[in-house]
Amino acid sequence: MKVELQNLTKIFPSRNKKSGEEVIAVNNFTFTIPDGQLVGLLGPSGCGKSTTLYMISGLQQPTGGKIFFGDEDVTELSPENRGIGLVFQNYALYPHMTVKQNIMFPLQNLKGEDKMTKDQMIERAYEAAKLVQIDELMDRKPSELSGGQQQRVAIARALVKMPRVLLLDEPLSNLDARLRLQTREEIRRIQRETGITTVFVTHDQEEAMSISDIIVVMKLGVVQQIGKPQEVYDDPTNLFVAKFLGTPPINVFDGEVKGGKLYIGESAIIDVPGVDDRKVIVGVRPEGFIPDANGALTCKLNNVEVMGRDVSVVSANSASLNPVVRSIIDADYKINKNAEYVSFSLKAHKVFLFDAETEERIRFEVK
């Protein structure tokens, strides 16, 4: 099921009557989610991702704009009539019911020709439970399950009505690190198996990058960039997106372009053909550094952390806008841990320039 958002906007009135300032939680969001894709809505707290999800679900009514499921305008439809499955951060299972009863619950209110017999409901509940691999636990109560198992029950409950669209709001936040990894892979598998168009809200960029077909990066209610995770990482549209994606985060420097060359401090680092002379902000991905005794970027060496295949070099540079410069290099390069300085040359395609005022990307041709 294709989901189309047209100029979707949500304005909350001010809570404070004196200041009168309303909050534009979502501002003119237009995007078509292709059928069967998993879309990650990503951004820092307060960027409007949950509000977007709630508008798609029907739990919140937009101030402006429209929502289509396929060709059907669902903007005015109630959540029950949209054919959605919803999963929240807190699994919200009924504690006095068994797993089976919890999963069957949404089927009990079906009316008219959708109404099911008890046997049909049990069969459906087992199908959904099998999908999330909890069919062995059907007679337990939620309190007898781990957090990850409880979240699977919540997912099975969302799937049991065979929704047209699956909506997940930070579904992994309450799980510990290992379960988060495992459950996110599960969600990906279930999504692939069922082919249900899915929207997944998270503030965790790594989670969104790993699970999504498409990511949507939001800031203060405004969509910043939409694309495949790797494409957005490799080609960010502004400094906000470049900084938001990637662990370790992108390194940021003050820089200047003079005569088609990029300077960080006194040194010309790379050629940036076609860029006029100007002050810039320079972003360098951690994997963009090559240790090179003759390299133009020299940093004071703080620490070398061996991570097996890779080495993390932590250093300092007076032009850096981050407290440290963090580079990830292949362990084959031997770095003298006791040296006072380390020099690098940079991979031009891992270097991004941004306007010092607007923070928008300035593109140059990588030779």
Of 16, 45, 117, 143, the one binding ligand ATP by CB under 6 A:
45
Cis (ω within 30 of 0) for the bond into 248? yes
Of 82, 124, 161, 203, the one binding ligand ATP by CB under 6 A:
203
Q: How far is CA 343 from CA 92, 228, 269, 326, 362, in A?
A: 54, 33, 11, 13, 26
Of 8, 47, 103, 239, the one binding ligand ATP by CB under 6 A:
47
Of 8, 38, 42, 49, the one binding ligand ATP by CB under 6 A:
49
Choice between 49 and 326, CB closer to ligand ATP: 49
| Separation of alpha carbons 262 and 269, rounded Å | 6
- DSSP-derived pairing of the beta strands 251-258 and 197-202: unpaired
Choice between 161 and 180, CB closer to ligand ATP: 180
Choose the stretch contacting ligand ATP; rule: CB under 6 A; options: 38-46, 148-156, 283-291, 319-327: 38-46
Q: How far is CA 362 from CA 257, 263, 267, 272, 355, in A?
A: 11, 15, 20, 10, 6
Sign of CA dihedral 68, 57, 41, 221: positive
Work out whether 48 is an interface residue with ligand ATP (CB under 6 A): yes
User: DSSP states of 122-180 as a string?
Assistant: HHHHHHHHHHTT-GGGTTS-GGGS-HHHHHHHHHHHHHTT--SEEEEESTTTTS-HHHH
- Closest CB to ligand ATP belongs to which residue? 50
Work out whether 51 is an interface residue with ligand ATP (CB under 6 A): yes
Work out whether 46 is an interface residue with ligand ATP (CB under 6 A): yes
CB of 170 to ligand ATP, least distance (A): 7
Choice between 16 and 117, CB closer to ligand ATP: 16
Give the per-residue contact string, 58-87, with ligand ATP (x = CB under 6 A; - = no). ------------------------------
